[in-house]
Amino acid sequence: MIPTINTERLILRPMLESDFEEYCEYGLDPQVMKYIRPVESKDAVKEMFVGFQKDWVGEEGAWQALAVALKDSGKLIGDVGFRYKSKENLQIEIGYKFHTEAHGKGYGSESMDALVKHINDYWDFHKLVAYCDPRNTASYKLMQRYGMTQEGLFKEHFKYGDDWQDELAYGVLKSTLKIPE
pLDDT digits (tens, 9 = 90+) for 156-174: 998 888 889 999 999 999 9
Q: What is the pLDDT of residues 84-102, one digit of tens each?
A: 999 999 999 999 999 999 9
Specify the pLDDT at position 160: 85
Residue 121 has pLDDT above 80, yes or no: yes
Q: Distance between CA atoms of 60 and 73, rounded to whole angstroms?
A: 34
Decide if 61 contacts 95 (C-beta within 8 A). no
Question: What percentage of residues in the chain have a pLDDT greater than 70?
Answer: 99
Among residues 164, 165, 136, the alpha carbon closest in space to that of 150 is found at 136
55: confidence class by pLDDT, cuts 50, 70, 90:
confident
- pLDDT higher than 70, residue 1: no
| Total-model pTM | 0.93
Q: Bridge partners of 80?
A: 66, 96
CB 32, CB 97: distance < 8 Å: yes
Dihedral pair phi/psi, residue 82, rounded to 5°: -155, 160
For residue 113, give the amino acid letter: D
